[in-house]
Structure 1
Amino acid sequence: MNKKIIKTALCCFAVIAMIILGFTTYTYFSIKDYLDSKTVFAVVIVGVVVTLAMGIAIAGVSAFAMALYKDKENSEDKKMAQIIYGSEVAKELKDEMKMEIAKREDEGKKVPTLCVILVGNNPASVSYVTGKEKACKEIGLGSKMIHLEENTTQEELMRVVRECNEDSSIDGILVQLPLPKHLNEKEVLWAIDPNKDVDGLHPINVGKLHLGEEGFVPCTPQGIIELLKRMNVDLRGKRAVVIGRSNLVGNPVARLLMNENATVTICHSKTENIQAICKEADILVVAIGKAKFVTKDFVKEGAYVIDVGVNRNDEGKLVGDVDFDDVVDHVSAITPVPKGVGPMTITMLLKNTIQACKNAEV
C-alpha cells in the first residue's frame, strides 16, 4: 500500500511539473522578445519555484496519507479481543425471567419453585447454595432449601428426594454435589423425577440430549451455548474442539454444539497431538481443570475461546484453564475467569426451573 501511495504521488508530481514547465517555457518564448532579460529570468525562476512548491506539497500529502495508513494498520494489529462477560449476559436473562415471573403472578399463575437439597456443611457447597437462594430471590422465583446433617444415611436422603418428587409445590429439584463420601451420588440423582431434574443429570434427560429431544440440559453447557448465541456466533459448520469429557461439561457441551450443526472434536488426557487439534478450532471450549493449560500455541487466530476452568494459583487468585493474558490478543472473543461462564450456570438453573413449572401446566 505504501508503494502505491508513493507511485501515485510521483505520477501526480510529474504531471503537474510538466504542465508548469510547459507553461513556463511557452511564456518564456512568447515574451522574451518583448521584455528585458531580467524580467524573463524572473519568470523562469517563478516557474521553477512553483514546480518545487507543488512537489513539496504533494510529498507532504503523501507522507500524511502513509502515516494515517500506518496508524490504521497498527490499530488493527493491536485490536483487543471481545471479552465475553457471562455476568452481563446473566443479568439480561435474569431481567427477562423476572418480568416473566411478574407476568405469571399478574395472571394468577403459580410462581415456580426450586428446591435445593444440601447434605453436610462443605464450605463451597454452602456458598453455592446461598448463591442460588439469592438468585431465586432476585427474580422472584420461589426457593426451598433442605439442609441435612453430614451423617445422613442413604435411605434418609432417598426418602427426602421421593417426598420432593411428590410435592406439587416444588417444580425443580437440585441435590448439591459433591455428597459426603458414604452416599451414593448416582443412586440419588437417578431417583429425582426427570421432570423436576433441572440440573439435567438424570439418565432420561441425558438420553434425550443425545437423541436431540426436548429435556433438561446440564446448566453450564447450556450457559455456554447461550453465551455464543447472544454474541450471534453462527455455529453451523464451525470446527469446535472441547477439551474435557466429563458428564457435567465436556460431553454435554459437545452434544449441544453438534445439535447446532458444529463439527466437534473432544480432547482429553489421552489425546495425542492435542495442541495441533486445538489449533484448528474456530470455537475452543476448555474444561480440563488445569490452571493456564491452554496458551496461545493452542489457539487458532481469531477463534472464540470459552474457559470453563476455575482454579486458584499460588497467590490464591482465581484463574481459568486458559492463560488469559497470553491468549487475549490472539482471539476474536474469550470468557474471563471469574465473571465468565460461572454466572451463567445458576442463571440456566433458574431458567430450567421456570420451564419445569410450565411443562407441568401443559
Structure 2
Amino acid sequence: MKKHKTYRRYATAIAVASALGIPAAHVQSSGVQLGGLVGAGVNYLSDVGGSSSTYMSPAGVLRPNFFYLRGSEDLGGGVKSVFLLSTMFSVANGANLGGTGSMFSRESYVGLSNGWGTLTAGSHRDFMFDLAINGYAGSYFAGIVGSHQGPFAGFGVPYGTGGATDFDRVNGEALNNTVKFASANFSGLTFGAMYGFGGQAGRFGASSSNSFGVNYSNALLGVGAAYTLAKYPQINNGDGGIRNIGVGANVRPAPWRFALLATWSRNTATGGQIAAYDATVGYDITPALGTTLTYTFMDGNQVLLDKRAQSLAASLKYNFSPRTTVYVVVVAQRASGPGAKAQIGGTPGASGSGSQVITSLGLQTVF
C-alpha cells in the first residue's frame, strides 16, 4: 500500500520538480536529462459569454504540458554548475505556449550549487509558486481550473487575459532577468530570495521585481510563506506593480490530507486588492485512487466594487502506474457584486452571468 502512495506522490512531485529544476533523487551528479509531462483533457464549460462550450485544453488541466532539458556538472569541492531550459506546449497542435517568440517559455537559467543552496540567473518562477508545489493551494489538487481568477477584470494583471489571471501568482508566472537563491533542505527548512532587474536606463527600480519565501515540511505537516512584488511597464510606467503575500499550511495524516492557503494581492498603482482563501480536504480511497474537495473564497475591495466569488472544486484521480494518471475535475463558481461575471481559472472567458461550471476529463503521463 505504501508503495502505491509513493508512486502517486513521486509522479506528481517529479513533474513539478522538473519544471522548476529541483534535483530529483535519481539525477546523476553530472549529466544532462530530458523529461516532462504530456496530457490532454476535454472540457465542458457551462457558460462563456452566454453560451456553453466544449473544447480541448491546449496546455493540460491537472498539470501543464511541458518538456525540459536539465543538466549539471560536478566542479569539485562540493560545487556544481547547473542549468534548466523548459517550455510549455500545446498537445493539440504542438505550438509553444507561454510567451510570444520565446523558445523556452517556462523557465530558463544557469548557475552554481553547493551544500548551502543554488544561485541561478535567468527566467524563474517566484516564491509564490512554492505555495502551490508544497501542497497548500487548491490548484495543486485541481490544476489550472483550481487557480484564482474570478470577476476581477479591473484588477489589472498585465499577463494572461481578463485582467485577473492567476492574480496571486500561485499557479506559476515567470519573471525575466532575475537572480534567485534557493537554499538546500536543512532538516525540512528551506528558504530563498530573488531579485529581477528592470532594465530601464536611468531608472534602476522601474519594472524590477523581488520575491522571498520560507517553508518547513516534515512527514506529517508543512507550513510556508511567500512575498513577491513585480513591477511592470504597463503599470504606472514601471513604477507600479502587483504585490502578493501568501501563507499556507497542510497536515497529512494518511489516508487524509488537509490544506489551507491565504493570499493577499494588491495593485500598487490603483489600490485594487483581492484576498483569496483555499480550504482543501483530500482522501486516498485506495492506494491508486484519490479524491479532493477545495472551497475558495475571493474578496475584492472597494476599488474592485466589492466583487466577490466562491468556488468549489472536486477532483478524482486514478493512477494506472507511477507515471500515468486519469482524472476528472469539476469546478463551480458563483460571483457577486455590481455586474459580476464568474470566471474560473484557465477558462477561455467569463460567463455571461454570475455562475460558471466546468467539467474536465483528462489523461497525463510523465516522461
Q: TM-score range by the shorter chain?
A: under 0.3
Q: Which has the higher strand share?
A: 2
